[in-house]
A and B are shown apart, each in its own frame.
Chain A
Amino acid sequence: VSNRAYGVLRGRLESIVGSASVSDNDLDQFVYSGGASTAMPPVRKLGRWGEGVKPLFIVWPETTEQVRDLVLLAREHHFPLVPWGGAVGYRGGSQPVHSNAVVVDTKKMNHILDIDERAMTITVQCGAFVEEINLALDGLGYWFPMDPPSFCSSTVGGFVGSSAAGWFVPKYGYIGDLLIALEVVLPTGDILRTKPVMKHSVGPNLNWLFVGAGGTLGLTTELTLKVYPKPAACIVHVATFGSFHDAFEAAYAVTKRGAQPFVLRVGDEGHSINYLGPELNYLDLRGCTVVVGFDGDPAMVDVQERLALEEIARHGGTDLGREMGEVFMATRFNYFRSRKNPDYFTDVITTCTSFSKLEAVYWDLRCLYEQHDVYWSHHIPHFCQKGASLYNIYRVPATEEGLERCERVRREGFDIVLGYNATIEHHHEIGMLLADYVQAELGSGATVLQAIKDALDPDNIMNPGKLGLRR
């Protein structure tokens, strides 16, 4: 970019968002190249920052109209826009891949626009953090039940882009399920607003087009989301089992009998030693585990609790009591205790499959990890009505050899997962790190996805190079 063109572009950006909301500061450019937010720490420690390149500018719009004007300017001047929410997706979804990119940080778009108590919905701008949303709802007796560890730094727009999950999806669902309506600035500059209705039959529900799209099809600017009354009662139990199979069967029985836990998790031995034990500050925790909890009306909670305890006992489990459940709820984000050794780092295969295949996928991945000497922890964080996610963590030394082993394990692990027709990624973004696997995952769906991208974004300006789409 010539100096003159650079100056002109800067002036145009400033005319849209104001001079205080445009930066080409070297420190900002370095941080927004994405490394701080997306690469795993030991990768940074080794000085390997992935493919992120410094953007030309970072801008912070405040309104939908400003986003639209940025899109129109990008089309006119042929530069890519890279949406940036909380950038905690770990897969490089917010990293610019072109040196003339402009990063659009959405965190100034964090206003609560409307709370409709009767409808039990909240309408917010895309850059709001869950913590901010729940602060606004708290006094009214409602809450928004997305609860990932990044509750304080993920934006709701980013949730949509990465098709995110919280800890309470067994009852409350994923971000796509919690979504009533969207406002999206399309890559042409047109603004799409879907209707705030729970369902319609007028063609496909277009909300879902943008869930998991990683900001490649448009920039989500406003969302109407479901909120729920704060539960009058909430109980959680932690139980131990002699085998992964028994723990799995107990959770399956709870689900099959129609109970609706807000949290239902299954962990193996590695999960107890390396994650759940340190989280609970109960370092003697051994065996496999089920964490099950119910919230809502006390009478319904009571019935479901009894049902769950019956199934735990029937499958040979030992209930550690409500008190341990309370500790779990209070310390569930203390997973940093499991990362005590900075000389190692962890990566993860986060798959999702049906109940009929899940145990087989688990054992194949576990064998792979043991074969490569990287076994660390497996658990099912989201045990839902018709299937479950399986979170498989492996640990390698933070060395060049470790990184190579990490990539070998990931590649071979994905071969296993795809062999079962399970997914390569359940709830993190795809970004750049997993882009090469999208074709294998989607098959002819990848062609459909590219065709949609080409139709909506003829100039390829919206977060190019992500999700396996054209750079």
Chain B
Amino acid sequence: MACKTEHLQEHYDDVVRCLICSSKFCMRWCPSFEATKSEAVFSAGLNHFALGILTGLTEYTPSAVQRLYTCLSCGSCRDIRCVAEYLGPSVDSPAIVQAMRTDIVDSGIAPDVVEGIAVRTLETHNIFGDDPGRALPLDHWSALRPGETPEMVCFLGCVVRHKNPAMATAARRITQAVGTSTQLLPGEWCCGLPLLRMGFRSLAQQMAQHNVDVLNRSGARTIAFCCPSCHKAFTEVYPREFGLRLVPDACLLLEYVSQSLEGGGLQLTTDVSERVTIHDPCSLALARKEVNLQRTVLQQVPGLELVEMVRSGSQTRCCGGAIWVKELFPDLTKAHGQRRLQDAAETGARTIATACPNCWRALQEAARVNEANYAVRDIVELVADAL
């Protein structure tokens, strides 16, 4: 099947760098490999296929294209055990997969399910295709007087806006307790990162441009992101990919919470008496190597006992929450979730705390589908409980 290769060609050197390693150090850490045991779905297999495309030895058939979407873009192959780091930076295999998907989308041969996610995101401005009118109402937050500019804008992201109002409530309670004038963003759209990961580069740019325009016009000094993926999109990906820059400072809401606790502006007095295990999101623990922030905050919650999973911190296991995997391969998503719940079960905790709304959604869903009795909470919610 004729398909463009211009985006993939840019990654030729990295493809070869990956294949120089013949020992497959990263294989065991890939969640897709773990769930399927197929060598076609982890970085070396995918890069082998990529080289086959670049050398004309294979082609993008419909089944091969579909298989390319098993990659969760979690970065375990890149960030946990890529030995290419001895030769320079780790091989960014998720970026190579993204390049292949971009060529696929540009050639009009993406799977229908993936096209469907993109179309509905464009129409509804959220990744789930939920009715925008049923999103979290803006008056949920404290209203500002006309003409007043907030100190901080809270960027909720699709999951909090449409699926987890409890987190938004928690965020509001915390900012009120600290006394930071905070506003939600009228006209917040999906950050666009999932679209970019799926290969819809121009649509992602459209989403990014809209959000950056609105955020820059807000007049706020700081944008606090509820979701580390959204944060990464605006602070790392979009400046690099599209030259788009936020004027206000950007931080994670969790960083704001941590700083408020440290500075004494936020005081936690209510005992929560819970044994909690922590699930580190890939976007934080792998991409940003940030493992202390979430623990520092949780350790300040009175009465909370923190227990670690076997795969935690910089060796976290992906929750499997990528939306394209969920919709194309529901059994795979179920397996990813089940595996992570098994990790949690080994700790004896019944509450899983995470710092990513998308992980929250995936683990909630995993608990429901697997009929497992777990409470999944965002760390911000646990902090609000202790106010």
Residues of A within 8 A of B (CB): 20, 23, 25-28, 30-32, 35-37, 40-41, 44-45, 47, 49, 58, 60, 86-88, 90, 105, 107-108, 127, 129, 131-132, 149-150, 152-153, 333-334, 336-337, 339-340, 342
Contacts and interface: CB of A to CB of B under 8 A. Distances in A.
A44 B48 contact: yes
B114 to A, nearest CB: 16
A336 to B, nearest CB: 5
A26 B63 contact: yes
19 contacts: A23-B38, A27-B64, A30-B48, A30-B49, A30-B52, A30-B58, A35-B52, A36-B48, A37-B22, A44-B19, A44-B48, A47-B57, A87-B39, A105-B38, A152-B27, A152-B81, A153-B27, A337-B87, A339-B87
B309 to A, nearest CB: 14
Interface of B: 13, 16-17, 19-25, 27-28, 36-40, 44-45, 47-49, 51-52, 55-58, 61, 63-64, 66-68, 81, 83-84, 86-87, 331
Contacts, number: 116
Contacts of B21: 336
A175 B5 CA distance: 45
Contacts of A127: 37
A152 B24 contact: yes
Q: How would you classify the secondary structure of chain B's contact residues: helix, strand, loop or mixed? A: helix
Contacts of B48: 30-31, 35-36, 44
Nearest to A108: B37
Contacts of B87: 336-337, 339-340
B23 A150 contact: yes
Contacts of A41: 16, 19-20, 22
Nearest to B19: A41
B20 A152 contact: no
Contact of B28 (A31, A108, A129, A336): A129
A-B interface, 5 closest residue pairs, ranked by CB to CB distance from nearest: A36-B48, A153-B24, A47-B55, A27-B64, A27-B67
A173 to B, nearest CB: 22
Nearest to A107: B37
A105 B37 contact: yes
A32 B45 CA distance: 9
A88 B22 contact: yes
Contact of B86 (A49, A132, A150, A334): A334
Contacts of B28: 129, 131-132, 152-153
Nearest to A90: B22
A20 B331 contact: yes
Given A49-B57, A129-B28, 19 more contacts: A25-B40, A25-B66, A25-B67, A26-B61, A27-B67, A30-B64, A36-B47, A37-B22, A41-B22, A47-B57, A58-B38, A60-B37, A60-B38, A86-B24, A87-B39, A88-B22, A152-B27, A153-B24, A337-B86
